[in-house]
Structure 1
Amino acid sequence: RICERIDILQRKTEKLSTVISNNDSSSGPSELINTLISARQKVQLQFEDRLRLINAQIIFYKSSEQVSQMLDTLEREYRTVEDIHEKLKIYNDDEIQKILADRLEQLDENKHSFLRACTVARQKSDLFHKYALRNAANLIKPEAYLKPLEQKIKNVSTILKNKEDTVLNAWHHRKKIIDEYLQYISFKRNTDKVFVWIDEHDECFVSKLEELDINDDGYMDFVRALK
């Protein structure tokens, strides 16, 4: 409706300008036309600013809602108690390492994704605030309009920031569990190798030690070779 009124005003202004220029050479009508044109341009700019504000507001709230839902889902996922040992006991150590490595990779991708989404939400917040400031400049009492709007933006942004921090903490906790289990699997594999080696070489190893004098250079060479 505002666009229609602006278009009507523009057409009437142009028509009036043509009629006056053809029938009157005085400057008064021309000044009136210039005033009307200037007023129309100002109204049009204000309308465009208001339209940008509305679009920025819609995008901000929609983006914030989507990010909030995503963070809630991730928090529930990361907070879920999981018995990794029980779940992976049907696999051998090599398979477990591959599974957990894939999990860590996916976990890292998820982290980058939700942090990027939170950054985009903050950018939408800044854009919304920018257009709110621009629109407030056209009002008689800008503070009365701007203050509650800024408070709403701050409230939503604070909620998202708190959720982001919560999910980030949960993410670190989940990653720590996987890292520790990977360390356990690595230690277990090395221990198994040692036991296998001992089973295969224990008699030879013991007999060799018995042959060597602890103070002899050959003993130290033998120990270094084992390392």
Structure 2
Amino acid sequence: ADAQYPAATRVQVLLEFLHEREMDLEDLAEIKRVKLEQCVQLCQFRADANQVVSWIRNGEAMLMASFTIPNSLQDAEQLKKEHEQFQVAIEKTHTSAVQVKHRADSLISANHYDPGSVRQVSEEVTKRWQQLVTCAEERHKLVTASLNFYKTAEQVCSVLDSLEREYKREEDWCGGGTGVSPVTTNGGLVPASPQSNNTQVQSVSPAAAAMSQLITKHQEQKEAFLKACTLARRTAETFLKYTSRSLQYYNYPTSEAGPEARVKVILDKLLSQENRVLEH
């Protein structure tokens, strides 16, 4: 059949055929090149993601190693300082975790040949990061609750000490030399003059006003320290709540930490002081 066509025509047909095959090969080569590039990108993406996961594990280890239940205001302040240092340390990890998410979105948008794997790696990093964030937030709540409790308890106990000392003072609020001394005449006791009696009556009014002010002040102090005692108990409840959650998270035996016993000692002392003040 080829003999029916001139040689030039047959050559032209062959050249066109070869050109088409060449174009097909170039297309296949481009597809292969893109896939290989995407394969390299996926490998690099996984390596970067694994590095971020490793940093996240280090963060979890830091939280685990520094875990403690504060037993005093000084302990709570030290824990706060360590937690602030931890937050600074994981800031780079946070930035890298965000970059992994953005990189995944970019690969998927570029029609990566394996979007499922890209998405899976990204979701794993996000999940691990969120777990670390949750753990860090729980630590922050524990730090805040412990600081609030110990600061409040210390301040309330100090105020109760001051009130107790104030109420124990032996002062004659009704005295102060307002009365009038009798006058001795002809060897006998003679009542003071009417003018002197008027002076005594007039002097009662300032004394009564002073006593009224003292009563008002006492009542205001009583209401204030009762509110403060209530606040101390509420901060204790919050502190124990986050303590219990932290102990459960790290699988610490409650008996080893004994936070309830420590808080109970402080609250019992506060209650004892409160009752002594109320007796006055």
Query: TM-score category by the smaller chain?
Result: 0.5 to 0.7
Shift of 1:70: 0.5
Paired amino acid for 1:84:
W
Contact 1:6 1:44 in 2 (8 A): no
CA RMSD, Structure 1 to Structure 2 (Å): 2.3
Q: Could you say which residue in structure 2 is the equivalent of 1:56?
A: 145
Distance 1:50 1:120, change over 3 A: same
Please say if 1:11 is aligned against 2:121.
Answer: no
Partners of 1:128 and 1:5 lie apart in 2 by: 30
Higher relative contact order (CA 8 A, sep 6+): 1
TM-score with structure 1 setting the length: 0.65
TM-score with structure 2 setting the length: 0.54
Aligned residues: 169
Please say if 1:121 is aligned against 2:235.
Answer: no
Alignment match of 1:97 (pick from 192, 198, 208) = 208
Alignment match of 1:47 (pick from 97, 116, 136) = 136
Identity of aligned pairs, percent?
A: 24
Shift of 1:38: 1.1
Query: 1:150-178, CA deviations, whole angstroms, 9 ceiling, x for partnerless residues?
Result: 222222111111111111112xxxxxxxx
Please say if 1:86 is aligned against 2:163.
Answer: no
Distance 1:64 1:99, change over 3 A: same
Alignment match of 1:109 (pick from 216, 220, 226) = 220
Shift of 1:50: 0.5
Shift of 1:60: 1.2
**Greater fraction of residues in helix:** 1
Shift of 1:17: 2.2
1:42-191 mapped onto 2 (5 Å cutoff): 42-87=131-176, 89=178, 92-143=203-254, 147-170=257-280
Query: 1:55-82, CA deviations, whole angstroms, 9 ceiling, x for partnerless residues?
Result: 1211211111111111000000001112
Distance 1:119 1:6, change over 3 A: farther
Paired amino acid for 2:271:
K
Aligned residue for 2:150, secondary structure, equals: helix
Contact 2:229 2:270 in 1 (8 A): yes
Distance 1:36 1:120, change over 3 A: same
